[in-house]
Structure formats: structure tokens, C-alpha cells
């Protein structure tokens, strides 16, 4: 997989609503930001394409170039390696195609915490293919709801967007028992959010 091939795929997907220069710029910056975070070099091209696709989707939504299908929720924590990944996993499971969910971090790590992946697998939620991503202007602008999960760096929040703070401990460095407790607290909050948004199954 090369960046050129990735750019061609993205242009086929988004060329009707976004220009080629924007698409290439988004792919290049996604690659650079993930490389700077220490992302596994073997997976970097794949992850950069996935991240660029997410950002291009967000940009198209923020600029009203595509029709939204339900609300968009953005989960933010510091490293995007634990709390926000768990929240997104539960959100996607509970909301299905009735909403869109994304996650990001203010200081993204190199990989998702393996104990977090294991704890989520115990709940039947597979996040093994997820990876930490930095926040971006497109994600923030496109989100209807922004959930700060202990990051504390999300100001200024874009006017008109719903903002919630979920003060939850960081699972980094914790044993599996504590990770499970954090997971369960996150699941409870996500279930309440899905119910409040009226997007449960």
C-alpha cells in the first residue's frame, strides 16, 4: 500500500464533494501526525488512510456537503489509548448506524492499551484494530456532542455543540481489575448518553 494508492482511493470516495488538493493535504497531514505519535511503522500507511478518511468525512459533514445520519459524538481523552477508545467501542455497539462516533486524544499514544483491548473483548466489543489519533479541527467542528473524558484540554469548545465532562481515571499503568472497573463506569455513561440522544436500538 502506497500513499499514492491511498490518495486515489480517497479521491474516488470524496472527489464529488471535496477537491483533490484538500484530500491529498488531509492524507499527508494524517500520515505526519501519526508518525509523530510513534505509530507502528508497519501499519502507518493503513492507519493514515483510515484517519484521513475519518477527517474527510468530518470535513464534509461540518461544511454541509453530505447529509448527516443522526448525531455525531466525539470522545476525547489524553492518549486516545484507553478511555475514549472504550467509550467509542460501546457507543458503536449501542448506537449502530443511527449515529456516528469518533475518538481522539490531545497527546495521542503509539498504540491502544492491550489491557483495554482485553477488557473490552470480555464484553464482546472488539477494538483490537483501533489506534490512537490526535484531535483535529474537522472532528471538533463536525461533532454534535463532545465528551471530555479527563483530558481537560478541549477548550475552547465550538459554540452550539453539546459538551460533557466525564471525569474518569486513566487506565494507563493499572492492573486488569482496575481497567475493568473503568470500563464498567464508561459503559454506564455511554448507555445513558445513547438513551438521552434517543438512538438506542
Note the pLDDT tens digit of each residue in 41-81: 999 999 999 999 999 999 999 999 988 889 999 999 999 99
Instruction: Give the range of the structural domain holding residue 55, as residue numbers without chain letter.
Output: 1-67
Distance CA 197, CA 179 (A): 27
Residues 142 and 154 in one domain: yes
Question: Which pTM was predicted?
Answer: 0.94
Residues 100 and 182 in one domain: yes
The model's pLDDT over 124-158, given as tens digits with 9 standing for 90+, comes to 999 999 999 999 999 999 999 999 998 766 554 56
| Chosen domain end from 49, 67, 85 | 67
Residue in the block written with cell 500513499: 3
Length of the chain equals: 201
Q: How many domains would you assign to the chain?
A: 2
| Chosen domain end from 46, 67, 88 | 67
Distance CA 96, CA 18 (A): 26
Phi–psi pair at 107, nearest 5 degrees: -140, 75
Residues 111 and 196 in one domain: yes
CATH of the domain at 39: 1.10.8.1060
Residue in the block written with cell 493535504: 25
Residues 180 and 93 in one domain: yes
Give residues with Cβ within 8 angstroms of 85, minimum separation 6: 103, 112, 113, 116, 120, 127, 130, 132
CA dist 6 → 35, 67, 150, 158, 164 (Å): 16, 24, 34, 31, 35
Amino acid at each position: 500500500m502506497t500513499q499514492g494508492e491511498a490518495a486515489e482511493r480517497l479521491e474516488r470516495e470524496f472527489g464529488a464533494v471535496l477537491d483533490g488538493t484538500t484530500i491529498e493535504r488531509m492524507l499527508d497531514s494524517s500520515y505526519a501526525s501519526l508518525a509523530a505519535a510513534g505509530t507502528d511503522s508497519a501499519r502507518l500507511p493503513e492507519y493514515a488512510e483510515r484517519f484521513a478518511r475519518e477527517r474527510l468525512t468530518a470535513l464534509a459533514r461540518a461544511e454541509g456537503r453530505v447529509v448527516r445520519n443522526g448525531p455525531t459524538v466525539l470522545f476525547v481523552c489524553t492518549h486516545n489509548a484507553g478511555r475514549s477508545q472504550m467509550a467509542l467501542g460501546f457507543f458503536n455497539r449501542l448506537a449502530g448506524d443511527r449515529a456516528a462516533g469518533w475518538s481522539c486524544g490531545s497527546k495521542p499514544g503509539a498504540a491502544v492499551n492491550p489491557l483495554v483491548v482485553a477488557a473490552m473483548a470480555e464484553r464482546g466489543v472488539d477494538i483490537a484494530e483501533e489506534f490512537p489519533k490526535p484531535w483535529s479541527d474537522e472532528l471538533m467542528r463536525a461533532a454534535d456532542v463532545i465528551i471530555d473524558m479527563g483530558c481537560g484540554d478541549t477548550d475552547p469548545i465550538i459554540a452550539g455543540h453539546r459538551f460533557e465532562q466525564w471525569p474518569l481515571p486513566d487506565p494507563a499503568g493499572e492492573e486488569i481489575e482496575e481497567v475493568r472497573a473503568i470500563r464498567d463506569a464508561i459503559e454506564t455513561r455511554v448507555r445513558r448518553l445513547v438513551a438521552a440522544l434517543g438512538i438506542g436500538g
